[in-house]
């Protein structure tokens, strides 16, 4: 990896689309050398070429992939744990263990695995920042949300414990909780049903990936004595998980 010694390095997981891609672009514009990780390497390579960053294949649910990814990162100041998502909206009574397992693995164990592996380098940087992407679902249970609620609530617990454990170390820990943002999120949630995914945003104005990325960049560019603890960002048309103004 050819990085000028003066450029701080930021790692963004799940950077092949949506919030992760927008964050990678904005961090690069803010002066970071950005290492973009996800499973779809073709997309990552295109993004990395555009922002002067580095593309590395990464499956956050696979410890060997996380180890290989982390070994290729020479140093790191900022880690954005963004890889994640939801599958399905089944009620608890009809939940599939497999969809819950997928959500737990990517959102929770994925965040743990990457964080744990990069933590020594974040501490060694002298000015580490970890940003976990939670959700309104990390705060508010909603009908059909149990599996995703459970996973994102677990991310919140992980964020809060890590912040306590990093007290006194040069690592700040932030969680950004977005409400509805139009990305590939709903397409994944509805297993590729694009029409159903689009209907989620019928008659309302959702957040864009860029809106959320701006908050992430704000958090990681505060001076070292300031920690943005948590931030909830909602579209104006959404006041609670399932309370949405539609025209």
Binding site for ligand NDP (CB under 6 A): 13-20, 38-40, 58-61, 82-85, 106, 110, 133, 135, 178, 180-181, 183-185, 188, 209
If the CB atoms of residues 170 and 205 are measured against ligand NDP, the closer one turns out to be 205
Q: Are 178 and 207 in contact (CB under 8 A)?
A: yes
Q: How far apart are CA 190 and CA 195, in angstroms?
A: 9
Q: Measured from the CB atom, is 83 or 146 closer to ligand NDP?
A: 83
Cβ distance to ligand NDP smaller for residue 45 or 184: 184
Shortest spacing between CB 21 and ligand NDP, in angstroms: 7
- The label of the residue with tokens 């990681």 reads 220
Cβ(83)–Cβ(38) under 8 Å? yes
| Residue number, 7 or 105, with CB nearest to ligand NDP | 105
Question: What SS3 class is residue 13?
Answer: strand
- Closer residue to ligand NDP (CB): 9 or 15: 15
Crossing angle of the two packed helices 63-71 and 110-124, in degrees rounded to 10: 20
- Least separation in angstroms between residue 225's CB and ligand NDP is 28
Active site residues: 148
CB 7 to ligand NDP: min, Å: 23
Distances (CA, A) of 64 to 2, 67, 84, 116, 117: 23, 5, 18, 13, 11
Q: Which two tokens stand for residue 51?
A: 């922002």
* Shortest separation between residue 16's beta carbon and ligand NDP, angstroms: 4
Q: In terms of DSSP H, where are the helices of the chain? A: 18-29, 41-51, 63-71, 97-103, 110-124, 146-165, 185-189, 194-199, 209-220
């Amino acid at each position: 990896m050819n990085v000028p010694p003066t450029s701080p390095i930021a790692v963004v997981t799940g950077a092949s689309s949506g919030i992760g891609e927008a964050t990678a672009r904005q961090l690069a514009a803010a002066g970071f050398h950005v290492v973009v990780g996800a499973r779809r390497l073709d997309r990552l390579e295109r993004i990395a070429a555009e922002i002067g960053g580095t593309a590395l294949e990464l499956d956050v649910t696979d410890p060997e992939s996380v180890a290989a990814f982390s070994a290729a990162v020479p140093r790191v100041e900022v880690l954005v744990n963004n890889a994640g998502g939801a599958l399905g909206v089944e009620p608890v009574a009809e939940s599939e263990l497999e969809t819950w397992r997928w959500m737990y693995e990517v959102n929770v164990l994925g965040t743990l695995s990457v964080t744990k592996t990069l933590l020594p380098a974040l501490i060694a940087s002298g000015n580490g920042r970890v940003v976990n992407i939670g959700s309104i679902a990390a705060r508010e249970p909603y009908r059909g949300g149990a599996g995703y609620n459970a996973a994102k609530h677990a991310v919140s617990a992980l964020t809060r414990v890590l912040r306590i454990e990093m007290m006194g170390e040069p690592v700040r820990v932030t969680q950004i909780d977005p409400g509805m943002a139009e990305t590939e999120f709903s397409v994944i949630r509805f297993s590729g049903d694009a029409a159903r995914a689009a209907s989620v945003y019928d008659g309302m104005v959702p957040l864009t990936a860029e809106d959320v990325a701006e908050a992430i960049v704000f958090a990681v560019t505060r001076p070292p004595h300031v920690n943005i603890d948590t931030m909830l960002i909602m579209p104006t048309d959404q006041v609670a998980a399932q309370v949405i103004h539609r025209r």
